[in-house]
Structure 1
């Protein structure tokens, strides 16, 4: 069977939905959309090039985040999010700029360099996954002007990372909201979505100016089916939340990310 035939088979709607559902369930178990796990699958299993995978991941993440916010409204009402608008604006002041520049850098990087950048960030997120989820709400780390400046800087970094990976950035946003602003974890999850949505729209707009953006038009059915699977999986993962102890779940998911990072790094060498 030819490489083209293999690729067509791997991108079958059933594979797209199943892959999205499994990844969404993993994300739902830890309160995220699972985009960090989706990207390596788009590259390694569905055989998309690095930049095309990032753009598709961003599009799917937009759908997941847009649906996750109303899903959480029963637990964290929109009025509560509105009451915390200064925090959202503080982070957006940096993340919107970071998203624009991050997407711009991604479109200019050589393919093998982008693979390596993705691999390094995935490994870093694996570390944050274990350490960041140990954070509990308490007193803000900083207050006043220092908190304001730190929020902009943190938002800038998160915006860049989210644009480069095509993710919502919740894995970095939630620990930031808990530690820097002292937000309760459930509130932090909803606030992170409120920051993520406009941040992703900015990077998505920037990506739309690159010719690689045509990957969405060529794979529209694949994208929508995988997005649907991701939403279903995230919902299921949320229902299963608490069944698997964090002491087992988080290290296991971190190992998956590290293995993915190694595979993506090796892919960069194959493109040389």
Structure 2
């Protein structure tokens, strides 16, 4: 962990309106597209608040975990548990890969040079921008794979999603939802709820792996910052949910994709803070 991440923690948390507003902006964006929006939070942690790459990922993971826990009861209320129970094999199939992927991704992240991690994060933001556009502009059919091939594809897809989610500190819904629809012919509403059931244990595994690294201390040093930004994210997500559909996807999705691409360029060019 960068020494700057600890020494500047009080200054960051002291800017309560800015921290809350940043969290709220992320929450609104996530609410507008029906996702967590953590991919938009990551560049703010790096560019606006000056956290080093790995510290930003760990903080993003902690906040994403709280947001998912908050969203899960509401999502389960919208989609009866009985409906999800009919698709329990989908969650198990994906988890067989995503849990391993989360551990592997977090392990790779803590071992990467900071400069390399910035570039990897930038590349993954480009991936998220592409996934965002595809999810909201493409009608997904089904691959109709035979049972064994479907199971193998689910494990492989889960592993890749687990890696990406761990390295970025996100829930991974942007990738999980289209994967569930494509591989298992599940409707988008049910897929959204299933993605949360897969995301939660996957995030816990990545979180457990990060807790074994010295950089995890950044979380304890910035608890007030995390609490304020998380509160903003939850409030923003509620507002974004109310605004869902107000802005046409034809305008919203390309705009958000451009935001991610610009963020990716800035993160790729970011210089690690001095120790």
* TM-score, scaled to structure 2: 0.93
Cα distance in 2 between the residues matched to 1:270 and 1:201: 28
| 1:106-147, Cα deviation, whole Å (9 max, x unpaired) | 000000000000000101111111112234354454231111
Alignment of 1:149-228 (within 5 A): 149-228=152-231
Shift of 1:6: 8.4
Cα distance in 1 between the residues matched to 2:108 and 2:144: 31
Contact 1:133–1:175 under 8 Å retained in 2: no
Cα distance in 1 between the residues matched to 2:216 and 2:57: 10
Shift of 1:73: 2.3
Contact 1:23–1:230 under 8 Å retained in 2: yes
**Equivalent in the alignment of 1:88:** 91
| 1:154-210, Cα deviation, whole Å (9 max, x unpaired) | 000000000000000001001101111111111111110000000000000000000
**Equivalent in the alignment of 1:51:** 54
Q: Which runs of 5+ in 1 are unaligned?
A: none
Cα distance in 1 between the residues matched to 2:82 and 2:143: 22
Alignment of 1:87-166 (within 5 A): 87-136=90-139, 138-166=141-169
Paired residue total: 269
Distance 1:211 1:41, change over 3 A: same
Contact 1:138–1:183 under 8 Å retained in 2: no
**Equivalent in the alignment of 2:249:** 246
Cα distance in 2 between the residues matched to 1:229 and 1:269: 27
Distance 1:268 1:179, change over 3 A: farther
SS in 2 for 1:47: coil
Cα distance in 2 between the residues matched to 1:28 and 1:143: 36
Distance 1:18 1:270, change over 3 A: closer
Shift of 1:13: 2.3
Q: Which runs of 5+ in 2 are unaligned?
A: none
Cα distance in 1 between the residues matched to 2:82 and 2:239: 26
- How much is the aligned-residue C-alpha RMSD, in angstroms? 1.9
Cα distance in 2 between the residues matched to 1:8 and 1:208: 22
**Equivalent in the alignment of 2:263:** 260
